[in-house]
Amino acid sequence: MGSRVEILNEGGFRSDGRRQFELRDMTIDLSQRGIADGSALITHGLTQVLVSVFGPREAKMRSQTIHDRANINVEVSVAAFSTGERRKRSRGDKRILEIASTIKSTFEPVVQTNLYPRSQIDVFVQVLQQDGGVLQACINGTTLALINSGIPMLDFVCAVTGGVHSTSPMLDLTLLEENDIPNVTVAMMPKTGKIALVTMETRLHVDRFKEIFRLVSDAGKVIHGEMKSAVLSRSTSLVTAMGSGPRTRGGDLEERDVDDQMNNY
């Protein structure tokens, strides 16, 4: 049975007017929110996620304490108004628990948890709007919130979804597309080129998978450029605010220090 909605028309355009390999508009807001040590509000198209990070701090429960590294605790919530679904997703919802578990396992090898033994890093993820690529947005938002909170990481983690319509690969899927075509979410680490996560909820032919995997990995580098630019802009504005302009004496932060720091990523 064919799709009720045209995923890709004869002119090669998708339902939202994008081409096959075109990414949705991405916005990043790293301004301080509440008492969080770091936060990030990120949008991919109409999907919007807010991530808040607290810690490293003392674990509330002794059972969560790990003697030689920090424990990363991830909680995900979905705003009731975020979707057209009638049913409300609670914190115990299977899908939400899956996303939280995936975020935790993706970041445990990347965050330098060994620097903070017997402590806890809390990551709170709020899905405010969803129109496809929710896991992608959660991972990218978590990367930015962790960096914004000053927690050392080995690399950025940049995630993108991809899928195949008939024989046509597509990037950064909307909810409409996700529901209709086989898709995969890949998170990559741009500095090393390592893959942090591959998750597939639908079957995809192995030949198609190779092609989409390569395209998604390349798209991750584009996402990385956007994220790095946002972090650099935020860092530079903080430096300027601290000294009403960059200083060159007394060990104060300079703009070039920010550049050096960013080169680590």
Pairing of β 47-58 and β 168-171: unpaired
Which pLDDT score, from 0 to 100, does residue 6 have?
83
Q: Where are the beta strands (DSSP E) in the chain?
A: 26-29, 38-44, 47-58, 71-78, 119-129, 158-165, 168-171, 183-189, 194-200
> What pTM was computed for the model?
0.89
The 3-state DSSP class for residue 115 equals: helix
Both structure tokens of 113: 């948890």
User: Are 53 and 122 within 8 A, CB to CB?
Assistant: yes
Q: What is the CA radius of gyration of the chain?
A: 19
Structural domains of the chain sorted by starting position, each given as residue range(s) with its CATH number in brackets = 26-263 (3.30.230.70)
Residues of the chain with pLDDT under 50: 1-3, 86, 246-255
The per-residue pLDDT for 84 is: 60
Cα angle, residue 250 at apex, residues 245 and 251 outer, rounded to 5°:
80
What does the DSSP assignment read for 21-88? TPPPPEEEE----TT-SEEEEEEETTEEEEEEEEEEEE-SSGGG--TTSPEEEEEEEE-GGGSS-SSP
Residues 246-260 have pLDDT tens digits of: 444 434 444 455 555
Strand order in the sheet with 26-29: 26-29, 38-44, 47-58, 119-129, 71-78
CB 116 within 8 A of CB 69: yes
Give the Cβ contact number of residue 62 at 10 Å.
7
State residue 93's pLDDT score: 84
Nearest C-alpha neighbor of 262 from the set 244, 239, 235, 240: 235
Specify the pLDDT at position 90. Answer: 59
Question: From the centroid of its chain, how far is CA 17?
Answer: 24
What type of residue sits at position 156? F
How far CA 159 is from CA of 31, 41, 97, 102, in Å, comes to: 22, 16, 19, 12
DSSP 113: G
